[in-house]
Chains A and B, each alone.
Chain A
Amino acid sequence: MRKDKILKYSIYILGVFCLCIFIFIRVKYGLQFIQNAPFCHDGGDLYRQNYITDFREPLPPFSNINQKNKYELPWYTNSPKHPSFDSADIVCVGDSYFFFHWLTTFPERLQDETGEKVYYYNGYNPMQPFMNAAYKKGRKKVLIYEMGERGLMHYLIQRMPLNPEPEKKTNEDDSFCLLLSKNDIERKYNRVLQRGMFIADLYEKIATFKFRTFEYINYKTPVYCLNPSWLFVKESVNNSESSFFYQHTDKEIQTLCDNLKRIQTKLKEEYNMELVFMPIPSKISIYHSLVFENEEYNNFLPRLYKGLDILQIPYVDLYHSFVKCSDTLYYRTDTHWNEKGITIAINKTIEKLTEIGYNNDKANNECQ
């Protein structure tokens, strides 16, 4: 009888606990409350794919924390410093290298360094912000188009739509209907398990034990080294077209360049925009010797640069600058660049802007 009661009440307690989790992960900021942190984009944070202590690298605090609401980080589609597309001097289009939460973002720095109004759009298609804003041809401007090296064969090998449909705003997070929502539920439960207030430490200890004893590591980060500890993301080291090992054909390089030329022509003719392309080298392309003793870089970016030169597409050559630099330019356990990396990128971008005569053009625009 006593056993009955103990078990029964244990089930009740467990049930109430689970009910709380069930509700919390479905209501606004509930998950953030459980993990006592903002729900941010951290797809590139390779430590958080594993939670293995050996790979825990201190990251700086979020650069763009919201003072009013600590649970909300902006996943912004425009720069907080300059939210107007129409009046911007420079438009930045790109993904996580441009809005990496742990650093003052690239567009904001560019604005600070150049004194220009820099607008940022988070996405892969450089034509999208024009469609969203129904932009009409105006004075000459520059568009800096960022893409990670491992994304090139994914996004640019095909022709990108030059007139995409304008994006619609969604208000999914505002609805209490999330209680019944099934969006990403398993992922959210995983977050509770990995980062929940009372369980995160235990989770990390178990993950670390499994790594140290059985060498278990998340399949998303199959290549790593210890002392110093580095993690490399799967797509850059597997047998896909995004990989370090992939040997690109001349035809593929040509197709990439042709597709960029198509975008450049459209931007110039229709919107009076000068394209500056900025492919960001994968971490493995620079630091492969740490994990592969006998492998050489497939020379993808230098080959791409040659193709871009021939078609006269301006680009920011980060690869050669990064290779020459003896400092560490990426976070060891994140896919993104660090303070030094982004500083080089800013300097090289300003150099490129000068090289293509951006300042002269601007002066001319102002005189007119």
Chain B
Amino acid sequence: MLFNSLEFLVFFPIVLMGYFFIPFKFRWIFLLISSYYFYICWDPIFVVLIIGSTLTDYFCSIKIAASKSKIIRKRLLYVSLIINLGLLFFFKYFNFFNDSIRDVVTLLGGTYSISNHDFKLPVGISFYTFQTLGYTIDVYKKRIDAEKKLLRFALYVTYFPQLVAGPIERAKNLIPQLRTKYEFNYYRVRNGLVLMLWGFVKKMVIADRIAEYTSEIFYNPGVYKGVIIWIANFFFYIQIYCDFSGYSDIAIGAAGIMGVKLMRNFRQPFFAQTTQEFWSRWHISLTTWFRDYLYVFLGGRRNGQFRMILSIIIVFLINGLWHGATWNFIIFGGVHGLFIVLYVLLRDTIKKIKNKIGLLKYNIVDSVLNISVVSLVFISTSPFFMTKTFSDALVIIRDSFSISISNPTTIINIFKFPVDFWISVLAILVLYYVEYVAEYVGLENWFKKIPKFLMWVLLLIGVSSIVFFGKWDALDFIYFQF
């Protein structure tokens, strides 16, 4: 069940009605059933995996919490890691590594007979695997107590607003909230609905509209050249942000209506001034997961600069691999890691140069320059994210540097309806304005300052834009594939 489907528009009010109507002590059971139904709507068979993952981590964490022996605790942690990562590896990465090994063996003149499996990728497996793993590690590290009620733990794993595409919640944040009684609150419900509305606008009006252009360019390598590709790269930057942050907004808004505050997943990444900062604003729940559970484990900053650089590179390569089992994603992650390392190494030099040429005196110019560079890093690596193969990405990158003057109507006509180009441009401007307000004023403050009628006008515009300009073809969210 996609958030941007009619099915969800019917499902969610039913859940809300039940949630507020049912006495508190049964609410979480109702939510658990709803969450399983939500997942079953995709593919009932894969619910077995979630149940398996839930049982594994529940029993492992209970035993870890009960055991005083360090060896037993460690072994139980390994059991959890092996089962969870094993399932993730099998469904998501087996074919990729199998193909890669086959290529190497064939290159060396050998024969390789292990064939790929043809199972579908279970929706949201990367998200809930990381969520349950984080929980078990936290119990092992004694950061949290193990949840004793199996079904409540099951709800933590499957809580439907964030089940299939995050935010990857931490147990210490979510589980206590699932135990807490919430009364109906007008402001909380209103804010949640507004956030959901904004999420729908981002997904259905902006991301899915721009997707027409980017798909045409990235799925037809070799056809388009020059400016057309750079526009596609920029559009993709906007598309993936609106797609994923739109999903996160809907998830956070939906949970918020029910009294659960999910962690923030995006914090105006367009205004990041370094690649490092960009990743602290982009998919925050994943980045902080890697920081807390992998970067620190690898040594992080504690063991000198070389170890830190190595940790960054490894974390970003795995970050890329998390996004998808292709070399494209690994390269995408690697390039971003490399830019972070470069910045860490050259930070002082860059500062000196800027100082020398007097750039630091002009804060705005410096900021705009920094933001542009960070955006350019993402924009120029877009082909790796969007194309299907490595060679397709190379063709797109090569063609992006070919000098060809495109007629503006050619660019506009890549959209099925020319008016969509102008709507996209307008929508991007609005998006940047909202992001600007959020970054420098704060949306809540801004909402408090504007007259009440204006707020209603804005809400009406939001709803109308979905009705009149929303793409109702229920396109998948890009991050579902991860």
Question: Which residues of A line the B interface, CB within 8 A?
Answer: 3-4, 7-8, 11-12, 14-19, 21-22, 182, 185-186, 189-190, 192-193, 206, 209-210, 214-216, 219, 222
Going nearest first, the 7 A-B pairs with the smallest beta carbon separation are A15-B17, A189-B6, A18-B13, A14-B13, A18-B10, A3-B186, A4-B186
Interface residues on B, range: 20 to 34
Query: Quick one: given A12-B20, A15-B18, A206-B467, are A193 and B417 in contact (CB under 8 Å)?
Result: no
Query: Quick one: given A4-B186, A219-B416, are A11 and B16 in contact (CB under 8 Å)?
Result: yes
Please name all residues of chain A whose beta carbon is closer than 8 Å to the beta carbon of B18 when the two chains form the complex: 15
Question: Which residues of B line the A interface, CB within 8 A?
Answer: 5-7, 9-11, 13-14, 16-18, 20-21, 40-41, 184-186, 189-190, 416-417, 419, 467-468, 474
Q: Which of B7, B14, B40, B184 contacts A4 (CB 8 A)?
A: B184
Taking a contact as CB atoms under 8 Å apart, the answer to whether B6 and A193 are in contact is: yes
Task: Give the CA-CA distance A4 to B183 in the complex, in Å.
Answer: 10
24 cross-chain CB contacts under 8 A:
A4-B184, A4-B185, A7-B186, A7-B189, A11-B13, A11-B20, A12-B17, A14-B16, A14-B17, A15-B18, A16-B17, A18-B9, A18-B13, A22-B10, A22-B11, A182-B41, A185-B7, A185-B41, A186-B474, A189-B5, A209-B468, A216-B417, A216-B419, A222-B416
A129 vs chain B, min Cβ distance (A): 33
Q: Which of B6, B9, B14 contacts A19 (CB 8 A)?
A: B14
Chain B residue, CB-CB nearest to A216: B417
Taking a contact as CB atoms under 8 Å apart, the answer to whether B417 and A190 are in contact is: no
A237 vs chain B, min Cβ distance (A): 13
B435 vs chain A, min Cβ distance (A): 26
Looking at B17, B21, B40, B467, the one whose CB has the most chain A CB atoms below 10 A away is: B17
Please name all residues of chain B whose beta carbon is closer than 8 Å to the beta carbon of A190 when the two chains form the complex: 6
B11 vs chain A, min Cβ distance (A): 7
Task: Give the CA-CA distance A189 to B467 in the complex, in Å.
Answer: 16
Taking a contact as CB atoms under 8 Å apart, the answer to whether B6 and A22 are in contact is: no
Query: Quick one: given A18-B14, A214-B417, A215-B419, are A7 and B190 in contact (CB under 8 Å)?
Result: yes
Task: Give the CA-CA distance A22 to B13 in the complex, in Å.
Answer: 11
Taking a contact as CB atoms under 8 Å apart, the answer to whether B7 and A19 are in contact is: no
Please name all residues of chain A whose beta carbon is closer than 8 Å to the beta carbon of B10 when the two chains form the complex: 18, 21-22, 189
Task: Give the CA-CA distance A232 to B25 in the complex, in Å.
Answer: 57
Please name all residues of chain B whose beta carbon is closer than 8 Å to the beta carbon of A215 when the two chains form the complex: 417, 419
Chain B residue, CB-CB nearest to A11: B16
Inter-chain pairs besides A4-B186, A189-B9, 6 sampled, C-beta below 8 Å: A18-B14, A19-B14, A22-B11, A185-B41, A189-B5, A219-B416
Task: Give the CA-CA distance A182 to B474 in the complex, in Å.
Answer: 15
Query: Quick one: given A189-B7, A193-B6, are A210 and B468 in contact (CB under 8 Å)?
Result: yes
Please name all residues of chain A whose beta carbon is closer than 8 Å to the beta carbon of B184 when the two chains form the complex: 4, 7-8
Taking a contact as CB atoms under 8 Å apart, the answer to whether A15 and B419 are in contact is: no
Query: Quick one: given A7-B190, A215-B417, are A15 and B7 in contact (CB under 8 Å)?
Result: no
Please name all residues of chain A whose beta carbon is closer than 8 Å to the beta carbon of B41 when the two chains form the complex: 182, 185
Taking a contact as CB atoms under 8 Å apart, the answer to whether B417 and A8 are in contact is: no
Task: Give the CA-CA distance A209 to B185 in the complex, in Å.
Answer: 38
Query: Quick one: given A11-B16, A18-B13, A22-B11, are A186 and B417 in contact (CB under 8 Å)?
Result: no
A175 vs chain B, min Cβ distance (A): 16
Task: Give the CA-CA distance A210 to B7 in the complex, in Å.
Answer: 24
Please name all residues of chain A whose beta carbon is closer than 8 Å to the beta carbon of B185 when the two chains form the complex: 4
Query: Quick one: given A4-B185, A8-B20, A11-B20, are A186 and B13 in contact (CB under 8 Å)?
Result: no
Task: Give the CA-CA distance A216 to B14 in the complex, in Å.
Answer: 32
Taking a contact as CB atoms under 8 Å apart, the answer to whether B7 and A11 are in contact is: no
A172 vs chain B, min Cβ distance (A): 16
Taking a contact as CB atoms under 8 Å apart, the answer to whether A15 and B468 are in contact is: no
Query: Quick one: given A189-B6, A206-B468, are A22 and B14 in contact (CB under 8 Å)?
Result: yes
Task: Give the CA-CA distance A158 to B198 in the complex, in Å.
Answer: 49
Please name all residues of chain B whose beta carbon is closer than 8 Å to the beta carbon of A18 when the two chains form the complex: 9-11, 13-14, 17
Please name all residues of chain A whose beta carbon is closer than 8 Å to the beta carbon of B419 when the two chains form the complex: 214-216
Chain B residue, CB-CB nearest to A217: B417
Taking a contact as CB atoms under 8 Å apart, the answer to whether B6 and A186 are in contact is: yes
Please name all residues of chain B whose beta carbon is closer than 8 Å to the beta carbon of A189 when the two chains form the complex: 5-7, 9-10
B157 vs chain A, min Cβ distance (A): 22
Task: Give the CA-CA distance A14 to B16 in the complex, in Å.
Answer: 9
A235 vs chain B, min Cβ distance (A): 16
Please name all residues of chain A whose beta carbon is closer than 8 Å to the beta carbon of B21 when the two chains form the complex: 12, 15
Please name all residues of chain B whose beta carbon is closer than 8 Å to the beta carbon of A210 when the two chains form the complex: 468
Task: Give the CA-CA distance A17 to B14 in the complex, in Å.
Answer: 9
Task: Give the CA-CA distance A207 to B17 in the complex, in Å.
Answer: 31
Taking a contact as CB atoms under 8 Å apart, the answer to whether B467 and A19 are in contact is: no
Query: Quick one: given A8-B184, A215-B419, are A15 and B14 in contact (CB under 8 Å)?
Result: yes
Please name all residues of chain A whose beta carbon is closer than 8 Å to the beta carbon of B40 when the two chains form the complex: 182
A61 vs chain B, min Cβ distance (A): 29
Please name all residues of chain B whose beta carbon is closer than 8 Å to the beta carbon of A19 when the two chains form the complex: 14, 17
Task: Give the CA-CA distance A193 to B472 in the complex, in Å.
Answer: 12
Task: Give the CA-CA distance A192 to B467 in the complex, in Å.
Answer: 16
Task: Give the CA-CA distance A215 to B9 in the complex, in Å.
Answer: 27
A356 vs chain B, min Cβ distance (A): 47
Task: Give the CA-CA distance A17 to B474 in the complex, in Å.
Answer: 22
Task: Give the CA-CA distance A189 to B40 in the complex, in Å.
Answer: 18
A196 vs chain B, min Cβ distance (A): 11
A291 vs chain B, min Cβ distance (A): 17
B10 vs chain A, min Cβ distance (A): 4
Chain A residue, CB-CB nearest to B41: A182
Q: Which of B7, B190, B416, B468 contacts A186 (CB 8 A)?
A: B7
Task: Give the CA-CA distance A249 to B21 in the complex, in Å.
Answer: 66
Taking a contact as CB atoms under 8 Å apart, the answer to whether A11 and B17 are in contact is: yes
Chain B residue, CB-CB nearest to A25: B10
A232 vs chain B, min Cβ distance (A): 16
Task: Give the CA-CA distance A289 to B419 in the complex, in Å.
Answer: 27
Chain A residue, CB-CB nearest to B44: A182
Chain A residue, CB-CB nearest to B193: A7
Chain B residue, CB-CB nearest to A210: B468
A234 vs chain B, min Cβ distance (A): 11
Chain B residue, CB-CB nearest to A3: B186
Chain B residue, CB-CB nearest to A185: B7
Please name all residues of chain B whose beta carbon is closer than 8 Å to the beta carbon of A186 when the two chains form the complex: 5-7, 474
Task: Give the CA-CA distance A206 to B463 in the complex, in Å.
Answer: 13
Chain A residue, CB-CB nearest to B15: A15
Taking a contact as CB atoms under 8 Å apart, the answer to whether B16 and A15 are in contact is: yes
Task: Give the CA-CA distance A7 to B183 in the complex, in Å.
Answer: 13
